[in-house]
Structure 1
Amino acid sequence: MPPSSYRRTSTCPGNASSAWQTGRVTTNDPAPDPTPASGPTQAQDSPFRDERTARDEAPQYVLPLVARIERAAPPARTDALETAARAVLVMLSDARSLGGGGEWAEAMRSWQDARIRKVVRRARGAEWRRAEALPGITVAGKSAEVRVFPPVPLDGWPKDLARLQVSGTDLDDPEPPAGPDPAAPVLWLNPEVAMSAGKAMAQAGHGAQLAWWDLDDTARAAWRDAGFPLAVRTAAPAHWRTLTTAGLPVVRDAGFTEIAPGSSTVIADHRPLFG
């Protein structure tokens, strides 16, 4: 049984409205780190870009994710992070996101041609039901549910998503997460960078996306067919230093919220997928 499940809905989108940005993060092209690692980092460029223009000159899009956080039963933090990462992968691999006539393909191309932005917001009750009525995919973890939507322009959010917030969301793990499965990719969080739950969910999504980009077609298909097994864990300081010299994909934050620009936040260890 795959470690996560997802369901698809395709309905008419709501009206556009300006979105209040929170928890906004960007996967940058390689840039100097204020505290540089002792070794090289992975080039962070998409093999799926359509237009090779300067990223900042292209129209800017954002990938919206909404986490279901009911007041009486919030999800565990680690499960929310892992579910958000899987939601990004499900969107990237969905037939509607791909060329050859996929209904979301044009938006996905435009998004990947510009800065790779993700925004995570929260919903409960009627807010969640309205979000589920919009075109997108809901991914369920053990306790978490995250709905991912096709990319939208920065100033063109559907009104039922634009009104949602993520600030003030605190999630905890009832008990420390178990060690990661050595046979599955791990998205390692920087132990020296503190992030809110929404910020960390977006960063985990970035890490999953960089791992996806770095794989060949065979490895991507195998990961998809297995249900995108992965773990999100905070690295021990010594392990983090080792990871920075391993040539793995590294997420560097653009510094819009919470942390300093250029901070390394996630390293994607996708080596188990190469056998």
Structure 2
Amino acid sequence: MTSHPASPADDAQPDSPFRHASTDRDQAPQFVLPLVVRIERAAPPARTDALETAARAVLLLLSDPRAVGEGEWAQAVRDWQDARIRKVVRRARGAEWRRAEALPGITVTGKSAEVRVFPPVPLDGWPKDLARLQVSGTELEDPETPGRPDAGTPVLWLNPEVDMSAGKSMAQAGHGAQLAWWELTGAEREQWREAGFPLSVRRPDAADWRDLVASGLPVVRDAGYTEIAPGSCTVVADHPALRRGPLG
């Protein structure tokens, strides 16, 4: 994942890896953030709810005391952020899900979706109970068209011209939420966290998408490891606090 961030405020957070000009991210040891979505045969989650729940899961991990400072996950998070920001979504059901829940992590529940996020692991060092889970088979559908986002709610806009699996889209939504988090000030982050990280994931029409990409808001450009071409714009992170200056 790479980013074209919005122009940050003077007190925007300095810990975004995109501000670490001296770091050779491709040469650093590579880590990945695992996410597991629960997909039971009889009751799969709605697609948009799964995407939104995955995005909130990423934010909850980034803001967890264990992931910052001297927390037990903090070094793994720093190592991950010093390399390419990779996320991989796998699916689980039944006993697989129960084994995943026994590992250190955070389970986030949406309206119909359950997603568990884990601290970053080396690219080739997944815990065995996660490594055996499947990446494929995460195709999900929305039973009805999602409504308009609530006014003032952060929105992660998906590229309407790029086809991605639900699992890939969940990872991209997580990227978008993370870019928004990095661009917020400390006070803005805390306000979002205290509100429970409300957000929506939606697809704009093609004309609105072009305007969003050109707006100066954070844009996810995929590294191209899976499914889509390198450099593809996949998500625009539209947080109200980032619409500063001429955007506001």
Report the TM-score when normalising by structure 1: 0.83
Structure 1 position 75 matched with structure 2 position 49? no
1:11: which partner in 2? none
- Partner amino acid, structure 2, of 1:47: D
Question: Within 5 A, what are the aligned runs for 1:109-128?
Answer: 109-128=78-97
Out of 45, 53, 65, the residue aligned to residue 95 of structure 1 is 65
Give percent identity, aligned residues only. 73
Partner-residue secondary structure (3-state), 1:251: strand
| Maintained 8 Å contact 1:223/1:273 | no
Structure 1 position 259 matched with structure 2 position 228? yes
State the Cα distance separating 1:29 from its structure 2 match.
Answer: 5.1
Question: Within 5 A, what are the aligned runs for 1:98-247?
Answer: 98-99=68-69, 101-247=70-216
Q: Tell me, in whole angstroms, the C-alpha distance in 1 between the residues paired with 2:203 and 2:130.
A: 30
Structure 1 position 28 matched with structure 2 position 7? no
Provide the aligned C-alpha RMSD in A: 2.0
| Maintained 8 Å contact 1:29/1:43 | no
Out of 26, 31, 47, the residue aligned to residue 56 of structure 1 is 26
Report the TM-score when normalising by structure 2: 0.91
Q: Tell me, in whole angstroms, the C-alpha distance in 2 between the residues paired with 1:238 and 1:214.
A: 25
Q: Tell me, in whole angstroms, the C-alpha distance in 2 between the residues paired with 1:224 and 1:77.
A: 24
- Partner amino acid, structure 2, of 1:145: E
State the Cα distance separating 1:48 from its structure 2 match.
Answer: 4.2
Flag as ranges the 4+ runs of structure 1 deviating above 3 A: 41-46, 48-52, 272-275
- Partner amino acid, structure 1, of 2:108: V
Q: Tell me, in whole angstroms, the C-alpha distance in 2 between the residues paired with 1:273 and 1:53.
A: 26
Over residues 109-165 of structure 1, what are the superposed CA-to-partner deviations in whole Å (9 max), with x where a residue is unaligned?
000011000000000000000000000000000000000000000010000000001
Q: Tell me, in whole angstroms, the C-alpha distance in 1 between the residues paired with 2:2 and 2:233.
A: 10
State the Cα distance separating 1:57 from its structure 2 match.
Answer: 1.2
Partner-residue secondary structure (3-state), 1:206: helix
Structure 1 position 47 matched with structure 2 position 15? yes
Q: Tell me, in whole angstroms, the C-alpha distance in 1 between the residues paired with 2:153 and 2:218.
A: 16
Partner-residue secondary structure (3-state), 1:57: coil
State the Cα distance separating 1:53 from its structure 2 match.
Answer: 2.0
Partner-residue secondary structure (3-state), 1:62: strand
- Partner amino acid, structure 2, of 1:77: R
Q: Tell me, in whole angstroms, the C-alpha distance in 2 between the residues paired with 1:42 and 1:120.
A: 27
* Structure 1 gap segments, 5+ residues each: 1-26, 31-40
Over residues 64-119 of structure 1, what are the superposed CA-to-partner deviations in whole Å (9 max), with x where a residue is unaligned?
000000000000000000000000000000000001x2000000000001100000
| Maintained 8 Å contact 2:32/2:88 | yes
| Maintained 8 Å contact 1:183/1:272 | no
Q: Tell me, in whole angstroms, the C-alpha distance in 2 between the residues paired with 1:119 and 1:270.
A: 24
Q: 1:61 to 1:273 in 2, by over 3 A?
A: same
Q: Tell me, in whole angstroms, the C-alpha distance in 1 between the residues paired with 2:35 and 2:7.
A: 25
Q: Tell me, in whole angstroms, the C-alpha distance in 1 between the residues paired with 2:230 and 2:16.
A: 25
Partner-residue secondary structure (3-state), 1:55: coil
Q: Tell me, in whole angstroms, the C-alpha distance in 1 between the residues paired with 2:122 and 2:2.
A: 18
- Partner amino acid, structure 2, of 1:209: Q
Q: Tell me, in whole angstroms, the C-alpha distance in 2 between the residues paired with 1:196 and 1:29.
A: 21
- Partner amino acid, structure 1, of 2:104: P
| Maintained 8 Å contact 1:46/1:112 | no
| Maintained 8 Å contact 1:65/1:149 | yes
| Maintained 8 Å contact 2:183/2:242 | no
| Maintained 8 Å contact 2:106/2:118 | yes
Q: 1:211 to 1:246 in 2, by over 3 A?
A: same
Q: Tell me, in whole angstroms, the C-alpha distance in 2 between the residues paired with 1:83 and 1:139.
A: 7
